[in-house]
Amino acid sequence: MNRNLKVILAYCGTNYHGYQKQANAITIQETVENACSKIFNHKAWIHGVSRTDTGVHARGYCFSVETVSQIPCENFVRAVNTLLPEDIAVLSCEEVSEDFHARYSAQAKEYIYKIYCQRQRDPFLNNFAYHYTYPVNDELMNSACKKFIGTYDFYALCNNYKADIKKAENTIRTIFDFNVKVYNNIRIFTVKGDGFLYNMVRILVGTVLEVNEGKIDVNDLTDIILSKDRSRTGRTVPPYGLYLNKVFY
Amino acid sequence: MNRNLKVILAYCGTNYHGYQKQANAITIQETVENACSKIFNHKAWIHGVSRTDTGVHARGYCFSVETVSQIPCENFVRAVNTLLPEDIAVLSCEEVSEDFHARYSAQAKEYIYKIYCQRQRDPFLNNFAYHYTYPVNDELMNSACKKFIGTYDFYALCNNYKADIKKAENTIRTIFDFNVKVYNNIRIFTVKGDGFLYNMVRILVGTVLEVNEGKIDVNDLTDIILSKDRSRTGRTVPPYGLYLNKVFY
């Protein structure tokens, strides 16, 4: 009897060439698929909720996978964690209906982006947060975040030179919430939406930072979104501050 | 004119074969010496406060270095940080008298050791804290820590099979303070002493954990110290939970 499993995963992306399988480079997908295949005793194909780029992390990634194995979910979690390297961990597993697909069943996703604000570099945050040395105005940044909440064509907020974002593709998305909060000298941007375009979260954060830096006027943001002009939005901040935090089904 | 500089350093030890220079392996000392030599425009010899093992971290390491360069301390900090890799950072630099030597002038050192207590492995704490899955009794552990405060021959608390701890060496040390505090699911052991023997902090923590596990009776600890019998103290916990936190002069 075929079973369909929904699995929640956390990983530190530092040592991987992103999520998606590719030749000649170690990826999350390949590493997890190999571990699953060993446990199931047959080749497993895992269906991830989305790709993540090199260096990007995940705290609550979701994949689904079909198997004929009858291993109980709890045992699967224990077994797969003994096979996985220490920078990847399966957090939970449950059996779901055959209709469930990690990617197509997702209703919303939440990403966080961490920046740390101090003059000195911190060797321990190196792979985990973006070192940001401009003085920060949290109120202004939160005002900027608010401007992106809603349903828009976010063409100006994606790196559309990539082959997988074609002009014809639907670039309309809904952002439900977007804010930045202070935890000591770390700021955490949290954005929740029904989907995100290529590099969209990193450009959202980059644009808010450029508002903070006085390079973009907060009152122009709506116009800028509507212009669909990538040259008017901010830079793509580095991948290592980004975490796929949670997927909603 | 010769100058003597006192430099505070932080580093993530994950990618280094410890502090001390050696052939065929990248170490903190070598990396920092090379950066200093470039800035001073002459070969620099740095004098570190102590060795640290592979994987051990530092938040407030201190070294001293002599130079004929007249570069202002502030400029040195900026310049050396541009040359150092991202997992090493110089935090401060000041000019000190020629008598000062990072190792021999040290009055006390403070180490911290981090353990995290939850069933699931956390891929983000992997290189930064020891995953400890036993139920923890903080009160009992603190009682155990207290037993080590004082001046003792700590021969039973060092790995004396290493060539650099010879039977003849003075193994008497004074521990000023030792405790464990809770920060969410992370416990931080803090120990301050006038000096530490080889692996001593890791064995101190391992012994307290074995008290927590019921393998060693807290009331036997003083006897165990006085017995000078390494076989009666606890295991050496892994290096990656250990941080040289602060040096006192």
Mutation pick from B59, B76, B86, B131 vs chain A, by most beta carbons of A within 10 Å, is B86
CB-nearest to A12 from B11, B87, B126 is B126
Tell me how far apart the alpha carbons of residues A179 and A176 are, in angstroms, rounded to a whole number.
10
β-partners of residue A94 are A6
The tokens describing A211, both together, are 């508002």
pLDDT at res. B147: 98
Q: Which of B151, B167, B154, B170 is nearest to B202 (CA)?
A: B154
Question: CATH class for domain B3-96?
Answer: alpha beta
CA distance A194 to A174: 6
User: CB neighbours of B219 closer than 8 A, spacing ≥ 6?
Assistant: none
Q: Where are the alpha helices (DSSP H) in chain A?
A: 28-40, 73-83, 138-146, 200-212, 221-227
Nearest to A8 by CA among A32, A30, A25: A32
**Distance in Å, alpha carbon of B31 to nearest chain A alpha carbon:** 14
Q: Which residue has the higher pLDDT, A161 or B181?
A: B181
Q: Which of B11, B120, B126 sits opposite A86 (nearest CB)?
A: B126
Tell me, what's the ipTM? 0.78
Residue of B nearest to A124 (CA): B12
pLDDT for B164 beyond 70 = no
Tell me the shortest Cα–Cα distance from A228 to chain B, in angstroms.
Answer: 36
pLDDT category, B222, cuts 50, 70, 90? very high
pLDDT of residue A22: 84
User: Cβ–Cβ contacts within 10 Å for residue B148, how many?
Assistant: 22
Cβ contacts of B121 on chain A, cutoff 8 Å:
81, 86, 89
- Return the pLDDT at B168: 58
Widest Cα–Cα separation across chain B:
60
Q: Region B92-104: what's the mean pLDDT?
A: 94
pLDDT surpasses 60 at A43: yes
Average model confidence (pLDDT) across chain A: 94
Tracing tokens 């008497």 back to the chain, one arrives at B172
pLDDT at B170: 87
pLDDT tens for A117-132 read 998 899 999 999 999 9
User: SS3 for B28?
Assistant: helix
Residues above pLDDT 90, as percent of chain B: 88
Residue A126 to residue B12, Cβ atoms within 8 A: yes
Task: Give the pLDDT confidence score for residue A85 in this predicted structure.
Answer: 96
Beta bridge partners of A10: A89
Name the residue type at position B107. Q
CA–centroid distance for B97 within its chain: 25
pTM: 0.86
pLDDT at A167: 58
Pairing of the two strands B108-116 and B130-131:
parallel
Percent of chain B exceeding pLDDT 70 equals 97
CA distances (Å), origin B238, targets B25, B26, B115, B202: 20, 20, 10, 7
Write the pLDDT tens digit of every residue in B10-37: 999 999 999 988 888 899 999 999 999 9
Chain B residues lying within 8 Å of A124, measured CB to CB: 10, 12, 57, 128
Exposed, middle or buried by CB within 10 Å (0-12, 13-18, 19+), for B24? exposed
Residues in chain B: 249
Q: How confident is the model at residue B166 (pLDDT cuts 50, 70, 90)?
A: low
Residue A21: how many CB atoms within 10 A of its CB?
A: 17
Q: Assign domain A108-248 to its CATH architecture.
A: 2-Layer Sandwich (3.30)
Q: Which of A14, A121, A245 to mutate to test the interface with B (most CBs of B within 10 A)?
A: A121
For chain B, the structural domain boundaries read 3-96, 108-248
Above 60 in pLDDT, residue B41?
Answer: yes
Higher pLDDT, B218 or B2: B218
Distance CA(B202)–CA(B103), nearest Å, equals 21
- Between strands B172-183 and B57-67, the pairing is unpaired
Over range A45-52, report the average pLDDT. Answer: 93
For residue A41, the tally of other CB atoms under 10 A from its CB is 11
Best residue in A78, A83, A86, A243 for a mutation probing chain B (most B CBs within 10 Å)? A86
| DSSP state for residue B44 in the 8-state scheme | -
Determine what percent of chain A is predicted with pLDDT higher than 70.
Answer: 97
Is it the case that residue A59 has pLDDT exceeding 60?
A: yes
What per-residue string of b and e applies to A69-91 under the rule 16 or more CB within 10 Å gives b?
Answer: eebeeeebbebbbebbeebbbbb
The backbone region for A98, taken as left when phi is positive above 0, alpha when psi lies in -120 to 50, beta otherwise, is alpha
Mean pLDDT calculated for residue range A32-56: 94
B3-96 shares its CATH topology with B108-248: yes
| pLDDT reported for residue A63 | 97
Q: What is the pLDDT of residue B155?
A: 93
CA A150 to each of CA A22, A133, A222, A226: distance values in angstroms, whole numbers, following the listed order: 35, 30, 11, 12
Q: Which of 87-116 (A) contact B at CB < 8 A?
A: 87-89, 91
Question: What confidence score (pLDDT) does residue A90 get?
Answer: 97
Per-window interface: A 3-32 vs B, CB < 8 A: 10-12
> What does the pLDDT look like over A210-244, one tens digit per residue?
999 999 999 999 999 999 999 999 999 999 999 99
* A53 noted as active-site residue: yes
**Chain B residues with CB-CB distance to A87 below 8 A:** 123, 126
pLDDT band of residue B119 (cuts 50, 70, 90) is: confident
Q: Tell me which of A2 and A149 has the higher pLDDT.
A: A149
Which chain A residues contact residue B122 at CB under 8 A? Answer: 10, 89
What values do phi and psi take at A89, rounded to 5? Answer: -140, 135
Say yes or no to pLDDT of A162 above 60: no
